[in-house]
Amino acid sequence: MYNPSSLKAEEFINHEEIIDTLAYADANKDNLELIDQILEKAKERKGLNHREASVLLACDNKEKIEEMYALAQQIKQDFYGNRIVMFAPLYLSNYCINGCVYCPYHISNRHIARKKLTQEEIKREVIALQDMGHKRLALEAGEDPKNNPIEYILESIKTIYSIKHKNGAIRRVNVNIAATTVEEYRMLKDAGIGTYILFQETYHKESYEKLHPYGPKSNYAYHTEAMDRAMEGGIDDVGLGVLFGLEMYRYEFAGLLMHAEHLEAVHGVGPHTISVPRIKRADDIDPTAFDNGIDDETFAKICALIRICVPYTGMIISTRESQAVREKVLKLGVSQISGASRTSVGGYCEEEPEEENSEQFDVSDKRTLDEVVKWLMELGCIPSFCTACYREGRTGDRFMSLCKSGQIQNCCQPNALMTLKEYLMDYASEDTKKIGEALIQAELENIPKEKVKEICKENLAKIEQGIRDFRF
């Protein structure tokens, strides 16, 4: 029954195959010879399959785990350098007709304040985000064909791209909305979205059906096959994720990798990103009511293994996680983080009064974007506001080949430095600016091609003179 090339959810995410995989992993978790072989294979940087990955996840030998962490750090460094791409979520509407039992947007929640931004309100939110320095957004909305039809999402994307406030601009809009039809994915593609993100929540069909008791999202197959429809609709960059805490993490991990293998088998390109959200406290949601919460150590191991198993896939961590957890996993392979996020509808312009709470969940990292940028640089990372790839048509397999060819360093490194420079000129505090300027000077040396380095230096000087938006 298991067939990674099938277009049927239950064949490419096959329950029996996952159960067999977990049994194989259990049987081999102390098989150091096999574990060494898998680690040797991982060093070739071509990834691992779900079976190999599951053996590493099951292994609890401290020495071997240290080796996994060291390898994850090395792969991160080789493919992504020390660049971390910045983004923020923008909540458009929390109207929703689904019954997801872990999400406060579920339709039977009568006390959460329901809000939907008008185009005028979106403008104000976007200006607030631009004034922080953001260039890349992830749009979020509940599923409600009457209140949030595709036309509303498309109009909102148009509004967002049209706003040019001072030197601000949103240059890439990623979209995290419910599973939809090929036709609507095509419309999103035509509207110029970056990545289409959809979390699977859980790959375990039986649990999925319990956790999504009614509403369009209750259809496991329709949800699980969404990325195939998105790709059929022309979207090259898709973002996967599971909501850790809902089901047994080892099951989810195997399912996630099988999903990535499926996309590679059918479309010739794996997921652009993988997100690793963990369930959080929210309006009428108590995360302890779910039995499968994972501790920080297991979470870090999952992040490290994702980095090893799908080296070319970006990894995203949100402000659901604390500063301390974010710091730990940054080294292990995370390549994108959000900063200064608000999960309420309209939250960037105004603090909500207690009685009008529209938040999706509590955030743990509540720092400002300037604080996050400064902290990243103090950790030796380069905060990058780059959006060049998709604007230059480097999506899907073209992005992957940039990654695989090693040319990434001649593209992403200067783009990161130039967009950081824009941030420093337009939005940074004095302290952040000082650290950033020194960092840029030092990091220019890590651009391999002399010619590219020279152009980058010239562009940095032009940014000082007020010109914006250079890219390779």
Q: Which stretch binds ligand SAM (CB under 6 A): 65-73, 109-117, 276-284, 306-314?
A: 276-284
Report the distance separating Cα 308 and Cα 73, nearest Å: 9
Supply the minimum distance, in Å, between the C-beta of residue 358 and ligand SAM. Answer: 12
- The nearer residue to ligand SAM, 176 or 195, going by C-beta atoms, is 176
Residues with Cβ within 8 Å of residue 372, at least 6 apart in sequence: 86, 337, 339, 340, 365, 383
User: Which run of H or of E encompasses 10?
Assistant: helix 9-12
Q: How many whole angstroms from its chain centre is CA 326?
A: 13
The single-letter code of the amino acid at 273 is T
Q: Which stretch binds ligand SAM (CB under 6 A): 227-235, 272-280, 349-357, 416-424?
A: 272-280
Which pair of tokens denotes residue 217?
A: 């999202």
**DSSP SS3 for 353:** coil
Supply the minimum distance, in Å, between the C-beta of residue 142 and ligand SAM. Answer: 5
Report the distance separating Cα 210 and Cα 255, nearest Å: 18
The footprint of ligand SAM on residues 136-195 (CB under 6 A) is: 140, 142-143, 176-178
Phi, psi (rounded to 5 degrees) for 188: -65, -40
Q: Figure out which of the listed residues 9, 25, 35, 103 binds ligand SAM, where binding follows CB under 6 A.
A: 103
Contact flag: residue 361 with ligand SAM (CB under 6 A): yes
Contact flag: residue 320 with ligand SAM (CB under 6 A): yes
Q: Figure out which of the listed residues 51, 115, 136, 217 binds ligand SAM, where binding follows CB under 6 A.
A: 217
Report the distance separating Cα 102 and Cα 212, nearest Å: 9
Supply the minimum distance, in Å, between the C-beta of residue 103 and ligand SAM. Answer: 4
Q: Which stretch binds ligand SAM (CB under 6 A): 3-11, 53-61, 164-172, 277-285?
A: 277-285
Supply the minimum distance, in Å, between the C-beta of residue 247 and ligand SAM. Answer: 13
- The nearer residue to ligand SAM, 293 or 435, going by C-beta atoms, is 293
Supply the minimum distance, in Å, between the C-beta of residue 254 and ligand SAM. Answer: 19
The footprint of ligand SAM on residues 284-303 (CB under 6 A) is: 285
Angle among Cα 177, 180, 182 to the nearest 5 degrees reads 130
Which pair of tokens denotes residue 377?
A: 């640089």
Supply the minimum distance, in Å, between the C-beta of residue 210 and ligand SAM. Answer: 15
Contact flag: residue 282 with ligand SAM (CB under 6 A): yes
Supply the minimum distance, in Å, between the C-beta of residue 137 and ligand SAM. Answer: 13
Contact flag: residue 280 with ligand SAM (CB under 6 A): yes
321 neighbors 365 (Cβ within 8 angstroms): yes
Supply the minimum distance, in Å, between the C-beta of residue 201 and ligand SAM. Answer: 5
Contact flag: residue 363 with ligand SAM (CB under 6 A): no
Contact flag: residue 271 with ligand SAM (CB under 6 A): no
Supply the minimum distance, in Å, between the C-beta of residue 243 and ligand SAM. Answer: 4
Contact flag: residue 198 with ligand SAM (CB under 6 A): yes
Q: Is 163 exposed, middle or buried (0-12, 13-18, 19+ CB in 10 A)?
A: middle
Supply the minimum distance, in Å, between the C-beta of residue 160 and ligand SAM. Answer: 17
- The nearer residue to ligand SAM, 285 or 300, going by C-beta atoms, is 285
**DSSP SS3 for 285:** strand
Using CA atoms in the order 34, 307, 409, 237, what is the torsion angle rounded to 10 degrees? 120
Q: Using the 8-state DSSP alphabet, how is residue 351 labeled?
A: P
User: Which run of H or of E encompasses 92?
Assistant: strand 83-93
User: Which run of H or of E encompasses 420?
Assistant: helix 408-426
Q: Using the 8-state DSSP alphabet, how is residue 116 labeled?
A: B
- The nearer residue to ligand SAM, 18 or 243, going by C-beta atoms, is 243
The string of DSSP letters for 146-199 reads: TTS-HHHHHHHHHHHHH---TT----EEEEE-----HHHHHHHHHTT-S-EE--
Supply the minimum distance, in Å, between the C-beta of residue 274 and ligand SAM. Answer: 13
Angle among Cα 197, 203, 205 to the nearest 5 degrees reads 125
Contact flag: residue 416 with ligand SAM (CB under 6 A): no
- The nearer residue to ligand SAM, 239 or 436, going by C-beta atoms, is 239
Contacting residues toward ligand SAM, per CB under 6 A: 102-103, 140, 142-143, 176-178, 198-199, 201, 217, 243, 277, 279-280, 282, 285, 320, 360-361
